[in-house]
Amino acid sequence: MYSWRKIREKLFTFTIILLSLLAIAPIIHMIIVVSINGIVTFVKAGTSFFTGLPPTPLSQEIGGIAPSIIGTLLMTAISLPITITLAIFAAILATEFPKNPISVAIDAIAKSLASIPTIAVSMIVYTVVVVPMKGFSALAGALALTIVALPYAYTYFSTALRSVPAVYREAALSVAMSRWGTVIRVLIPIARNGIAIGVLMTMARIMGETAALLFTAGRFRNRVSITPSKPVDAVPLLIFDYILSPYDIWHQVAWGATAFLLLAYIAIFFAVKLIVKEVKL
Amino acid sequence: MFAVEMNNVSVYLRGRQILKEVTLKVPYNTVFVIMGPSGSGKTTMLRVINRLIDITEGARVVGSVNVLGFDVMNYDPYELRKHIGMVFQIPNPFPHLTIYENVAIAAKINGVVKNKKELNDVVRWALEKAMLWDEVKSRLHEYPHQLSGGQKQRLCLARALAMKPKLLLLDEPTANIDPVNARKLENAIVSLKDEVTVVMVTHSPYQAARVADYVAVLYDGMIVEQGPTQQLFLRPTTDIAQKLLRGEM
Amino acid sequence: MMTRKDKLFFISLLPLSSSLLTILVLSIATVALKSLDSLQTFGLNLLISSTWNPERGVYGFLAPLIGSVTTSILAVITALFLSLPLTIIIAEYLRGIVKNVVSSIVELMGGMPTIIYAVWASQYLVPFLKEFIMEPLHNVFKFIPLFSCRPITGFSIFASGISIGISIVPYVTAIILEAHQSIPLAYREACYGIGATRYESIKIMLSLARPAIVAALILGFARSLGETTIAAVTVGNSMYLSSCLFAPGYTVSALIASQFANAHLYPYAESVLYASILFVMMISIALSFYGSSTIIRWRSRIVV
pLDDT digits (tens, 9 = 90+) for B128-174: 999 899 999 999 999 999 999 889 999 999 999 999 999 999 999 88
Contact C303, C212 (CB under 8 A): no
Q: Any idea where the domains of chain C sit in the sequence?
A: 30-302
Nearest chain A alpha carbon to C169: A23
- Residues A117-139: tens digit of each pLDDT: 999 999 999 999 999 999 999 99
In a domain, A112, yes or no: yes
Residue B178 has pLDDT above 70, yes or no: yes
Query: Given a cut of 50, is residue A280 above it in pLDDT?
Result: no
Interchain contact, C119 vs A29, CB within 8 Å: no
CA distance C230 to C225: 11
Taking the Cβ of residue C3 and every Cβ of chain B, the question of whether any pair is shorter than 8 Å is answered with yes
Our CA-based measurement puts residue C1 at a distance from the nearest CA of chain B, in whole angstroms, of: 6
- Domain hosting A75: range is 66-226+266-280
Which residue on chain A is closest to B103 by alpha carbon?
A175
Distance CA C79, CA C76 (A): 5
- Measure in Å the smallest separation between the Cα of A269 and chain C Cα atoms: 7
Asked if the structure places residue A82 within a domain, the reply is yes
CB atoms within 10 A of CB B121: 13
**Neighbouring-strand partners of residue B219:** B222
Q: Do the domain assignments include residue A255?
A: no
Domain membership flag for residue A97:
yes
Mean pLDDT of chain A, nearest integer: 93
B189-to-B105, B128, B241 alpha-carbon distances in Å: 21, 12, 24
Whether residue B94 and residue A190 make contact (CB cut-off 8 A), yes or no, is yes
Containing B216, the helix (H) or strand (E) segment is strand B214-219
Of B85, B88, B96, the CB nearest to A170: B88
Q: Which CATH superfamily is domain C30-302 in?
A: MetI-like (1.10.3720.10)
ipTM computed for the complex:
0.92
**Does residue A114 sit within a domain?**
yes
List the one residue out of B38, B55, B20 whose CA is nearest residue B89: B38
* Per-10-residue mean pLDDT, chain C, length 304: 86 91 95 91 82 82 92 96 94 88 91 95 94 90 85 92 96 92 84 79 88 95 95 92 90 94 87 93 94 92 78
CB atoms B54 and C3 under 8 Å: yes
* CA-based nearest residue in chain A for residue C3: A179
For helices C269-302 and A101-115, what crossing angle results, to 10°? 130
**Cβ atoms of residues C209 and C220 within 8 Å:** no
List CB contacts of B112: < 8 A, sequence separation 6 or more: B106, B122, B162, B163, B164
Residues of chain C contacting residue A205, judged by C-beta atoms under 8 Å apart: 111
Check CB contact under 8 Å for B76 and C4.
yes
Q: Write down the pTM of the prediction.
A: 0.91
Please count the CA atoms within 13 angstroms of the CA of A4 that sit on its side-chain side: 1
Look at residue A201 and tell me whether its pLDDT is greater than 60. Answer: yes
Q: A178 and chain B: CB distance < 8 Å anywhere?
A: yes
What's the domain count of chain A?
A: 1
In a domain, A177, yes or no: yes
The 10 Å Cβ neighbour count of residue A234 is 34
Instruction: Say whether B12 sits in a helix, a strand or coil.
Output: strand
Closest chain A residue by Cα to residue B160: A175
* The B214-219 sheet, strands edge to edge: B84-87, B167-171, B197-202, B31-35, B214-219, B222-228
SS3 of A278, please?
Answer: coil
Q: DSSP letter for A218, please.
A: B
Domain assignment present for residue A41? The answer is no
Cβ atoms within 10 Å, residue B170: 27
Tell me which H or E stretch contains B167.
strand B167-171
User: Is residue A2 over pLDDT 80?
Assistant: no
Chain C residues within an 8 Å CB radius of B54: 1, 3
**Among C81, C85, C284, beta carbon nearest to A115:** C284
Amino acid at C60: G
Partner C contacted by A77 (CB < 8 A): no
Q: What CATH number corresponds to the domain at position A276?
A: 1.10.3720.10
User: Is A248 buried (19+), middle (13-18) or exposed (0-12) by CB count in 10 A?
Assistant: exposed
Q: What is the CA radius of gyration of chain B?
A: 18
Q: Does A17 reside within a domain?
A: no
